Structure 1
């Protein structure tokens, strides 16, 4: 016997068109182009040698042959779909996503982001670790992490970079300072100021960031350290 060209997606398209009464609405429900729905249904009609749908300007409905076809094909298609969903659930069960986060970024946006991810992918376990930006990027390159959330990274080999969000930087100044009344400052305005950073690992990042933004041939970085209690 000749091999049929009808696939599961053909039956899914027919079910969607029959339930919605429209190729256009079926395409919207399935997230495909309307032409894909029309073409696949036409493929089935050509193989059968009869129309499954009557076409009208306002939509479609099943012919008697279409009803017979769907009554026999739909239960099998739904059973396969259910089997696939079950297999995906089992496959996702125990799947881990290894995420490394640079310490100062652990609050705010990230908690909302991963909370939404847990709701959307309940079968995926999130495993977090913390490190400096260079350490996290190196771990991603070595395959020890799936994702590294860092404060800055230049594109390089072995990893891709996606910009997630931006945050303003605030400067604390004493009352009466000439810069305190300005709504925004440039890094050039702060070249002669004394900065204080923590002795924690995050202080190393802040120090490197300040060196890149403030230090040039005309100025040196004036830096002090603070040990938090």
Structure 2
């Protein structure tokens, strides 16, 4: 049994399809099938329920998947920590969704760089789902996302639920109202973002309409947040955006508060389950310190083992 067998099996278990797993691994389907069969032969057990659609894991397969994810996470942590010890200058890579750039993230970046000049802080924009995969592959060390999606080997901390606002063109008939409801917005074309991968922020917004027993008049899905706001400015529809976006100064767009308390979007911090590095601990402490200084309420306190430095 080799490391590549484990990586191939994890990809297959998560994709539940040989073709999709092969594409993710950048190999063809026949070699993937052979590697999985070799893994089963070396273990002497069946890991997959053959013929199931989508592909299902046996009881042994599920157990093996859960432990393999943890094993690979430990391996990535070992690689990263070894590099940091060997490097003259340490580094941290943070993944983020675009909307978090308008909240606490920029202030955190400035303060962290000022107080830890010995650590090279790198930033990568990526969707919430892409962050989870990047953490498992060691491409990032921490992520700021907005989608509630659990993944083995990843520890997720819901920092806060940020209120949503409606973005409308400035001369819209509803622009003079102090508060708006989903029902009032329902007749308008709804601009959603991003287009992929799923689940994403667009799915989250549609779910809020569904929970309110409403259906948008029409839906236009665009690539990113700035495109959606540009179309709002052109009068092509309305968009639901996190409250931090109201700090933008655009003469053509107004941001209106929504009256329903359930209209929120979470800010979720993702880290590897077993990563205990001092650099990540310092970054987490700084995030919570900023929240306290600026009276920003947070939902989950810093986990005890991070507080104690265990």
Question: TM-score by structure 2 length?
Answer: 0.37
Bigger relative contact order (CA 8 A; separation at least 6): 2
Which has the larger share of strand? 2
Highest CA radius of gyration, 1 or 2?
1
Question: TM-score by structure 1 length?
Answer: 0.48
